[in-house]
Amino acid sequence: MNSTHAYILAGGLSSRMGADKGLLLLHNKPMVNYVIETVRPIVPSITILTTNPEYKQFGYELLRDNVPNLGPAGGIATVLQHSRAEQNFIISCDTPFITTSVIEYILSHAQQTQITIPQHNNQLHPLCGVYATTCSEQWQQCIQQGERKLQQLIQHFSLNVLDCNSFQSNTFTNINTPQEFEQAQQIT
């Protein structure tokens, strides 16, 4: 088993945005490209979870969500079923301001628990964390019992919540609406 594999979740319906968020051009570059460029130096083994074949242009393995219509909970279930690594760094494609120092910090604190996620300004960020592959069976059971919200799902596991208030405020910004996208365009 390899130690860590990165999965970028790009399979959402983007209903609030009205377009595939990861492929939207932020400062003339697809948003997912920011995430790839930040993750790659730390975790070079990357898979993109998506149903959109346009993501082939980035040169990474594409994985189809085999638990469709459950949002991020289903995406994480697919990752945990697919992974051959001990740990999985899971991040959303719509977090273009994530930094290598944040990823390194999260990975360096992810040894003794099933799930390690950051908390910034009292907000948990479960779509920027490390999930042990050993969570797979229990994650599936929780989903089968009707759990869908990540904030509730993660409470069923040994959880390490990292205080990340020392990082810049926009580091964990995820972009879900056209208004948020316009605001992101103003950030250099």
Pairing of strands 128-132, 115-120: antiparallel
Residue 70: CB atoms within 10 Å: 15
Quick: pLDDT tens for 22-62: 999 999 999 999 999 999 999 999 999 999 999 999 999 99
- Going from N- to C-terminal start, the domains of the chain cover 2-185
Distance from C-alpha of 102 to C-alpha of 22, rounded to nearest angstrom: 20
What's the rounded Cα separation, in Å, for the pair 130 and 34?
19
- In terms of Cα–Cα distance, which of 92, 98, 84, 117 is closest to 41? 98
Q: Which CATH number applies to 2-185?
A: 3.90.550.10
**What is the per-residue pLDDT across 84-115, written as a single tens digit (0 to 9) for each?**
999 999 999 999 999 999 999 999 999 889 99
Confidence band of 188 (pLDDT split at 50, 70, 90): low
Question: b/e map of 15-46 (b: 16 or more CB within 10 Å)?
Answer: eebeebbbbbebeeebbbbbbbebbeeebebb
Give me the phi and psi of 163, to 5 degrees please. Answer: -75, 115
Residue 13 has pLDDT above 80, yes or no: no
Candidates 154, 105, 100, 162; CA nearest to 126 is 154
Statement: residue 2 has pLDDT above 60:
no
